[in-house]
């Protein structure tokens, strides 16, 4: 067992280096030059010398290998460098935007679970009844609907509804204030993107809860509990739910990746100054340092989550370990 | 009548169509203007270094410039007024020396006084940047030799040759005046910091989110600014900006919205919305790659331009895209621009489109390029790039050309332009101040003008341009311009025009004191804006 | 003797309790439809979409790329059932042709990703050891890699166009399939008859193809149908961000980009119908996939 743990943990480092190499390479394969974009997007004329000066300042004229070593070594030290677009430290830019994304993500997960777990349980208990059918349709619709389309429709609905009801249109604020500064304003801005992203997550969780619940309900110990005459809802809450939730919990780790993907488009639709938007910008601006840092953070989080999941599975099911 | 609906007519029409009063009636002080900037975040707030409008919209209120386009008459292309100087000078020494007197009592926001030395130092940083410092507009000032400050109230500009392209270049909205002391100590300081002498003081930046300014009580113009402050919110998505104006989360944006947004806002908000419109000093061009066969053949290039029906296409496009006026290489409404009659003699502007298309087909056949298939490279921006491209492809199909579009994000698009990896590309020419003599430099070969992507050489064109640039007689200059235009667009068909962009700014009617200009870079220091609420 | 009138419920009961009776395809399909109304509905949607995509040229009323500047942003009417967009192009025709693009993208990505995932997953499980460990590491990296970077890289280097979008979407899907199939394959690998087969001297290929692959068929099919929906959604997101298929190719995600938001208030049909098409199609595939899984997974069948 310990050998497996060590092996699995050791695998993390080459994985991260591999990811670093991949993102480094991909970014530089994309044709384009951040200096040219900066100087030329206005449409006027600019000097080749200005471009050279910009390259020198950003360290783009150094040999590729040196740039890569700097990047990887910096990553493991926690030094992500300076954003090539804004000239400010990468961590500063990320930290400025992190609270928004985090708040939306947390709210989305909370909402998702508040909706999903009860509905999934009911759906499992009343399998194949009209309620089950309705809930399943609802959850599949959540998986099928593009989240940005939902966002667009949301905003449209809010504006038109408020115009019809109050005479003048209302929309959530477009600049963010932290929750401790003005909770009402903050929540009014965050609730809609959270709902949009949360709907999809709730769909997945709902389905997983339902199928896990169904499996558990067929287990012998549930039949025994019923035979013993235990009250139904005690059976559900004390026995069934806990066991059913294990795969659901592990699923949440994997769903985090989809959540980030949902955040990227949702932040565009709702004009939120979050990590997703920063990501899209930095890729389009070809800001190597920023993109590399963001990708590495996402990859690191994902790899670590998966490692933990693998270890937990190995602990639970000895067959999966191998010497 | 689109050619005459250039700047003058548009300004008149706008004055009639909107409810902006001709005179400012009792401006009220106070209030905060909230507006939106159509960008994610500017790379930096250093005006000398950047070329994006996002920098101007963010930080222009914090700075002063030497001269500028008249904010009370921004439609004019020849009316320049002083900001920091006291009077517009007449050039001396055969037009090669300009001497400016600087105002008294100007202070930087940290309390220190601004003198001629600061102006000279800032300008020298622009035209001769020190090693390792970027100046994005260095090549605009080839005619400038040096800038001196012989005494604390006088700045002298010495030119290498006389040209009336100098004053418009001097009015560059990015030519912010920085503090000499700081520039001497650390030439990179302004890349990360703000210290100016403008009507507003820097009051906070939340990166990617918003920038705020507060009224400068020591501003050198009495009574200005009217506003207590401003908040500029970065909002890249157009739908967000339109919705924000609709719901009064922001009063306006300063770049331009498409006709559909204007129509929607007017319909929904009635008299709570005012619209100002103007021709825009930006245009999309079509540039064939002369190094790729068969675009090295002038007949094929001429066919490309003859196939397109500008006169009928422009009004149709104007309903959905930010374009309107059919024009030649010079900004319509400028004294040097062609009249409609003059334009109609040039390929691509013939009044009879049937005749034009027949000629195009004939040329293609002659050059052996019938039914030619090629790719049009384009930038991944909706307004108006993609609309114009879709229209062009449709027009070309009418003469048997089969064109597909290759749309690229900005970075790879520029790379494609510079490396010449395209057949034909949508190009653009966007300038701040209307300066026709410099603006048409875009059509010169790469050896002279680095942002020309056609990959051709043409000494005759360069010679034509040189005589145009050095000509001092107005009538002769106009004639030379006509010759240059015909040569570029017709004879050689190096590049050709699509309808000029059109700027539409709908805004909340409580905002007063702002006048639209032909460029989204101009008139952005917000000093004259006041809120009627 | 009395002839008992056929009673469908009785027949079903008999069939259920008689596992040895060989069921004809038609009967099986009928059973499937009755048991899985949602799945049937899903299949119906899939079939309709497929018909639309295959016969687009014949059923679409207009040319999907023909601009008509005289009929811009027209509301749904008898002339244009779903209205026109800002270029005057008929929405219904664009949606029909868009079905073709969606299905091409969806099926290509799904098939390539599932097959590649199966090869990698089963192979990794079968051979185990260090190969498995390294492969899992590589797959981890690719799976964690954000789709947008992959898409932007592929699109910028190789250009836009349907094939490159397919490549960009397929790559992140492969490790997901590989992971799931590896888990299933691992369970089988430990079964004694695999070792017995090795002991008999059977080659790797034979064992894998004859013993392991058939046993992962169920999750394979489920992943396949799930991927179709995911690929269509991914294409929509990429087009929305400007990295997918480009004008003037009709594609649902592309129809939602730019113009749709610009005109959302004044011409909502431009934004609603393409989104509805995406949602319904993915919905259909998901329902179908669900029903498939229920049919194939004995544990979840009704008693």
Q: Do B406 and C246 touch (CB under 8 A)?
A: yes
Residue B484 pLDDT grade (very low, low, confident, very high; cuts 50, 70, 90): very high
How far from A263 is each of A24, B127, B288, CA to CA, in Å? 23, 44, 40
Identify whether the C-beta of residue A199 lies closer than 8 Å to the C-beta of residue B258: no
Per-residue pLDDT of B415-465, as tens digits, reads 888 888 899 999 999 888 888 888 898 999 988 887 889 999 999 999 999
C258 touching B, CB under 8 A? yes
A250 touching C, CB under 8 A? no
For β-strands B252-253 and B144-151, DSSP reports them as unpaired
Distance of CA A109 to the CA centre of its chain: 10
Q: What is the mean pLDDT of residues A103-119?
A: 88
Please tell me the predicted confidence (pLDDT) of residue B17.
Answer: 37
Nearest alpha-carbon partner for B172 in B477, B478, B519: B519
d(CA A54, CA B524): 27
Q: Which residues in chain A are closer than 8 Å to B52, comparing Cβ atoms?
A: 38, 41-42
Nearest alpha-carbon partner for B307 in B402, B397, B376: B397
Higher pLDDT, A311 or A172: A172
Residue B10 pLDDT grade (very low, low, confident, very high; cuts 50, 70, 90): very low
Q: Do C246 and B268 touch (CB under 8 A)?
A: no
Please tell me the predicted confidence (pLDDT) of residue C149.
Answer: 67
Nearest alpha-carbon partner for A275 in A286, A259, A288: A259
Q: What is the mean pLDDT of chain A?
A: 80
A157 touching B, CB under 8 A? no
- Bridge partners of A82, per DSSP, are A89
Please tell me the predicted confidence (pLDDT) of residue C53.
Answer: 87
Q: What is the mean pLDDT of residues C217-238?
A: 85
Please tell me the predicted confidence (pLDDT) of residue C23.
Answer: 60
Q: Does the pLDDT at position B13 exceed 60? A: no
Q: Does the pLDDT at position B109 exceed 70? A: yes
Mutate to test the interface with A, among B50, B127, B192, B207 (most CBs of A within 10 A): B207
Q: Which residues in chain B are closer than 8 Å to A37, comparing Cβ atoms?
A: 410-411, 414
Q: What is the mean pLDDT of residues C165-190?
A: 83
Identify whether the C-beta of residue B241 lies closer than 8 Å to the C-beta of residue B258: no
How far from B26 is each of B513, B529, B530, CA to CA, in Å? 11, 12, 10
Residue B305 pLDDT grade (very low, low, confident, very high; cuts 50, 70, 90): very high
SS3 readout for C48-75: HHHHHHHCHHHHCCCCCCCCCHHHCCCC
- Please tell me the number of Cα atoms within 13 Å of B60 on its side-chain side: 25
Q: Is the peptide bond before C248 cis (omega within 30 degrees of 0)?
A: yes
* Least confidently predicted of B133-142, B317-326, C38-47: B133-142
B112 touching A, CB under 8 A? no
* Least confidently predicted of A166-170, B295-299, C171-175, C260-264: C260-264
Higher pLDDT, B136 or B180: B180
Identify whether the C-beta of residue B37 lies closer than 8 Å to the C-beta of residue B45: no
The CB density around residue A323, as the number of other CB atoms within 10 Å, is 7
Residues 6+ apart with CB under 8 A from A66: none
DSSP helix/strand/coil, B495: coil
The CB density around residue A318, as the number of other CB atoms within 10 Å, is 8
Please tell me the predicted confidence (pLDDT) of residue B521.
Answer: 92
For β-strands B273-288 and B424-430, DSSP reports them as antiparallel
Please tell me the predicted confidence (pLDDT) of residue B7.
Answer: 44
Please tell me the predicted confidence (pLDDT) of residue B2.
Answer: 30
DSSP helix/strand/coil, B509: coil
How far from C14 is each of A244, C7, C8, C32, C243, CA to CA, in Å? 34, 11, 10, 16, 55
* Least confidently predicted of A138-142, B318-322, C24-28: C24-28
Residue B414 pLDDT grade (very low, low, confident, very high; cuts 50, 70, 90): confident
d(CA B335, CA B338): 8
Identify whether the C-beta of residue B347 lies closer than 8 Å to the C-beta of residue B493: yes
Residues 6+ apart with CB under 8 A from B245: B251, B252, B253, B265, B273, B506, B507, B508
How far from C64 is each of A128, C60, C77, C173, CA to CA, in Å? 42, 8, 17, 31
Neighbour-count burial of B41, counting CB atoms closer than 10 A to its CB (0-12 exposed, 13-18 middle, 19+ buried): buried
The CB density around residue C111, as the number of other CB atoms within 10 Å, is 14
Q: Do B260 and C86 touch (CB under 8 A)?
A: yes
d(CA C267, CA C280): 21
Residues 6+ apart with CB under 8 A from A137: C38
Please tell me the predicted confidence (pLDDT) of residue B22.
Answer: 40
Neighbour-count burial of A301, counting CB atoms closer than 10 A to its CB (0-12 exposed, 13-18 middle, 19+ buried): middle
DSSP string, A27-90: HHHS---HHHHHHHTTSS---HHHHHHHHHHHTTTS-HHHHHHHHHHHHHHT---B-TTT-SBH
The CB density around residue A138, as the number of other CB atoms within 10 Å, is 16
Residue B9 pLDDT grade (very low, low, confident, very high; cuts 50, 70, 90): very low
Per-residue pLDDT of A48-66, as tens digits, reads 777 887 888 888 888 888 8
d(CA A124, CA A106): 26
Per-residue pLDDT of B118-132, as tens digits, reads 999 999 999 988 887
Q: Is the peptide bond before B445 cis (omega within 30 degrees of 0)?
A: no
Most confident of B16-30, B334-348, B497-511, B513-527: B497-511
Identify whether the C-beta of residue B417 lies closer than 8 Å to the C-beta of residue B462: no
Q: Which residues in chain A are closer than 8 Å to C150, comparing Cβ atoms?
A: 26
Q: Does the pLDDT at position B63 exceed 90? A: yes
Chain B 263-292, residues with CB within 8 Å of chain C CB atoms:
263-264, 267-268
Give the H/E segment covering residue B215: strand B210-215
Residues 6+ apart with CB under 8 A from B59: B45, B47, B176, B194, B196, B211
Q: Does the pLDDT at position B20 exceed 70? A: no
Residue C298 pLDDT grade (very low, low, confident, very high; cuts 50, 70, 90): low
Residue B507 pLDDT grade (very low, low, confident, very high; cuts 50, 70, 90): very high
Cβ-Cβ pairs closer than 8 A, B with C, add up to 61
Residues 6+ apart with CB under 8 A from C31: C12, C15, C23
DSSP helix/strand/coil, B48: coil
Angle between helix B259-269 and helix B238-246 axes, rounded to 10 deg? 20
Q: Which residues in chain A are closer than 8 Å to B231, comparing Cβ atoms?
A: 175
Q: Does the pLDDT at position C6 exceed 60? A: no
Most confident of A250-259, B323-332, B426-435, C57-66: B323-332
Mutate to test the interface with C, among B261, B312, B320 (most CBs of C within 10 A): B320
Q: Which residues in chain C are closer than 8 Å to A256, comparing Cβ atoms?
A: none
Q: Does the pLDDT at position C256 exceed 80? A: yes
How far from A104 is each of A100, A153, B22, C162, CA to CA, in Å? 6, 19, 48, 33
Mutate to test the interface with A, among C126, C239, C279, C300 (most CBs of A within 10 A): C279
SS3 readout for B125-144: HHHCCCCCCCCCCHHHHCCE
Residues 6+ apart with CB under 8 A from C254: C239, C244, C245, C246, C247
For residue A149, give how far its alpha carbon lies from the nearest alpha carbon of chain C (Å): 6
DSSP helix/strand/coil, A233: helix
Q: Do A46 and B139 touch (CB under 8 A)?
A: yes
Residue C16 pLDDT grade (very low, low, confident, very high; cuts 50, 70, 90): low
The CB density around residue B490, as the number of other CB atoms within 10 Å, is 18
d(CA B29, CA B39): 29
- CA triple C201-C205-C210, angle to 5 deg: 90
Classify residue C23 by its DSSP letter: P
Residue B68 pLDDT grade (very low, low, confident, very high; cuts 50, 70, 90): very high
* Structure ipTM: 0.81
How far from B221 is each of B198, B225, B508, B517, B527, CA to CA, in Å? 10, 8, 26, 22, 9
Distance of CA A209 to the CA centre of its chain: 20
How far from B355 is each of A27, B351, B489, CA to CA, in Å? 49, 9, 18
Neighbour-count burial of B249, counting CB atoms closer than 10 A to its CB (0-12 exposed, 13-18 middle, 19+ buried): buried
d(CA B460, CA B438): 18
Per-residue pLDDT of A266-314, as tens digits, reads 888 888 888 888 888 887 788 888 888 888 887 787 777 777 777 776 6
Identify whether the C-beta of residue B250 lies closer than 8 Å to the C-beta of residue B241: yes
| Partner-chain residue, chosen from C67, C160, C263, that has the shortest CB–CB distance to B407 | C160
Please tell me the predicted confidence (pLDDT) of residue C68.
Answer: 74
Question: Measured on CA atoms in the order A280, A283, A285, A291, is the torsion positive or negative?
Answer: positive
């Amino acid at each position: 067992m310990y050998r497996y743990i060590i092996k699995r943990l050791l695998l993390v480092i080459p994985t991260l280096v591999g990811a670093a190499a991949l993102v480094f390479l991909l970014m530089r394969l994309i044709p384009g030059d951040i200096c040219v974009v900066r100087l030329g997007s206005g449409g006027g004329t600019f000097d080749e010398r200005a471009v050279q000066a910009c390259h020198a300042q950003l360290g783009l004229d150094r040999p590729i290998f040196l740039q890569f070593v700097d990047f990887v070594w910096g990553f493991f030290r926690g030094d992500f460098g300076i954003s090539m677009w804004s000239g400010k430290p990468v961590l500063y830019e990320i930290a400025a935007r992190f609270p928004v994304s985090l708040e939306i993500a947390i709210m989305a997960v909370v909402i998702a679970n508040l909706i999903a777990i009860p509905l999934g349980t009911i759906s499992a208990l009343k399998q194949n009844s009209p309620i089950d059918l309705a809930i399943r349709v609802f959850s599949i619709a959540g998986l099928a609907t593009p989240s940005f389309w939902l966002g667009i429709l949301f905003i449209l609905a809010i504006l038109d509804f408020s115009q019809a009801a109050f005479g003048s249109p209302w929309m959530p604020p477009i600049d963010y204030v932290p929750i401790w500064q003005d909770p009402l304003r903050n929540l009014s801005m965050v609730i809609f993107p959270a709902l949009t992203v949360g709907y999809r997550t709730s769909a997945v969780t709902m389905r997983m809860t339902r199928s896990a619940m169904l499996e558990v309900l067929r287990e012998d110990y549930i039949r025994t509990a019923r035979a013993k005459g235990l009250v139904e809802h005690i059976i559900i809450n004390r026995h069934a739910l806990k066991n059913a939730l294990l795969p659901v919990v592990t699923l949440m780790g994997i769903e985090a990746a989809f959540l980030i993907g949902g955040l990227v488009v949702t932040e565009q639709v709702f004009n939120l100054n979050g990590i997703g938007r920063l990501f899209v910008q930095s890729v389009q601006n070809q800001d190597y340092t920023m993109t590399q840092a963001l990708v590495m953070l996402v990859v690191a989080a994902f790899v670590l989550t998966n490692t933990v999941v693998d270890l937990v599975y190995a602990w639970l099911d000895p067959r999966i370990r191998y010497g | 009548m689109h050619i005459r609906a250039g700047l003058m007519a548009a300004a008149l029409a706008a004055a009639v169509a909107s409810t902006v009063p001709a005179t400012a009636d009792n401006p009220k002080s106070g209030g905060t203007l909230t507006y939106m900037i159509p960008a994610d975040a500017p790379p930096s707030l250093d005006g000398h270094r950047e070329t994006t409008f996002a920098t101007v919209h963010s930080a222009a209120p914090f700075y002063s410039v030497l001269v500028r386009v008249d904010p009370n008459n921004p439609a004019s292309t020849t009316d320049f007024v002083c900001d920091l100087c006291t009077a517009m000078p007449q050039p001396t020494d055969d037009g090669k020396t300009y001497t400016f007197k600087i105002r008294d009592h100007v202070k930087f926001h940290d309390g220190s006084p601004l003198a001629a030395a600061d102006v000279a130092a800032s300008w020298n940083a622009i035209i001769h940047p020190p090693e390792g410092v970027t100046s994005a507009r260095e090549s605009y000032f080839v005619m400038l030799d040096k800038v001196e400050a012989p005494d604390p109230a006088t700045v002298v500009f010495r030119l290498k040759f006389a040209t009336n392209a100098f004053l418009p270049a001097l009015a560059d909205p990015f030519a912010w005046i920085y503090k000499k002391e700081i520039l001497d100590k650390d030439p990179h300081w302004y890349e990360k910091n703000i210290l100016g002498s403008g009507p507003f003081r820097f009051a906070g930046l939340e990166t990617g989110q918003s920038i705020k300014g507060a009224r400068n009580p020591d501003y050198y113009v009495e009574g200005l600014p009217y506003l207590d402050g401003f908040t500029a919110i970065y909002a890249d998505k157009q739908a967000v900006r339109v919705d924000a104006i609709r719901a009064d989360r922001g009063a306006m944006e300063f770049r331009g919205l498409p006709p559909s947004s204007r129509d929607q806002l007017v319909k929904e908000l009635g008299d709570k919305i005012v619209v100002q419109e103007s021709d825009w000093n930006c245009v999309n061009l079509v540039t064939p790659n002369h190094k790729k066969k068969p675009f090295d053949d002038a007949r094929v290039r001429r066919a490309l331009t003859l196939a397109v029906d500008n006169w009928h296409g422009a009004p149709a496009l104007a309903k959905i895209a930010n374009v309107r006026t059919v024009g030649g290489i010079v900004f319509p409404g400028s004294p040097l621009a062609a009249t409609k009659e003059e334009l109609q003699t040039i390929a691509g502007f013939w009044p009879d489109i049937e005749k034009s298309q027949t000629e195009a087909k004939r040329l293609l056949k002659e050059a052996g390029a019938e039914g030619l298939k090629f790719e049009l490279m384009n930038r991944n921006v909706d307004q108006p790039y993609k609309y114009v491209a879709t229209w062009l492809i449709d027009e070309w199909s009418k003469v048997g050309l089969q064109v597909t579009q290759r749309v690229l994000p900005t970075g790879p698009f520029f790379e494609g332009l510079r490396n010449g990896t395209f057949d034909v590309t949508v190009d653009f020419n966007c300038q701040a101040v209307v300066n026709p003599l410099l603006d048409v430099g875009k059509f010169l070969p790469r050896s002279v003008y680095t942002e020309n992507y056609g990959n051709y050489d043409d000494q005759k064109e360069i010679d034509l341009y040189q005589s145009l640039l050095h000509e001092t007689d107005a009538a002769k200059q106009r004639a030379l311009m006509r010759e240059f235009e015909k040569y570029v667009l017709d004879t050689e068909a190096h590049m050709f025009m699509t309808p000029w962009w059109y700027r539409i700014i709908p805004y909340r009617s409580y905002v007063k004191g702002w006048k639209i200009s032909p460029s989204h870079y101009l008139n952005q220091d917000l000093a004259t804006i006041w809120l009627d609420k | 003797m009395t002839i008992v009138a056929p009673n469908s419920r009785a027949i079903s009961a008999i069939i259920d309790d008689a596992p040895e009776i060989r069921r004809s395809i038609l009967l099986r399909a009928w059973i499937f439809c009755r048991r899985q109304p949602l799945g049937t509905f899903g299949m119906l949607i899939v079939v309709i979409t497929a018909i639309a995509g295959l016969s687009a040229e014949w059923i679409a009323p207009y040319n999907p790329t023909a601009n008509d500047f005289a009929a811009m942003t027209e509301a749904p009417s008898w002339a244009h059932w779903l209205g026109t967009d800002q270029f005057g192009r008929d929405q219904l025709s664009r949606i029909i042709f868009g079905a073709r693009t969606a299905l091409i993208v969806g099926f290509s990505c799904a098939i390539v990703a599932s097959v590649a995932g199966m090869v990698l997953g089963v192979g990794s499980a079968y051979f185990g050891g260090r190969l498995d460990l390294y492969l899992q590491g590589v797959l981890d990296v690719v799976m964690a890699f954000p789709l947008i970077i992959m898409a932007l890289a592929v699109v910028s280097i190789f250009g836009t166009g349907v094939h490159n979008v397919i490549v960009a979407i397929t790559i992140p899907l492969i490790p997901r399939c590989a992971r799931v199939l590896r888990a299933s394959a691992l369970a089988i690998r430990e079964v004694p008859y695999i070792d017995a087969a090795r002991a008999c001297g059977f080659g790797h290929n034979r064992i894998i193809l004859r013993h392991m692959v058939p046993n992962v068929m169920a999750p394979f099919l489920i992943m396949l149908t799930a991927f179709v929906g995911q690929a269509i959604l991914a294409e929509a997101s990429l087009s929305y961000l400007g990295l997918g298929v480009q004008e003037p190719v009709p594609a649902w995600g592309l129809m939602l980009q730019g113009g749709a938001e610009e005109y959302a208030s004044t011409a909502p049909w431009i934004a609603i119908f393409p989104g509805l098409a995406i949602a319904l199609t993915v919905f259909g595939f998901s329902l179908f996939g669900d029903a498939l899984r229920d049919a194939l997974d004995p544990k979840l069948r009704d008693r």
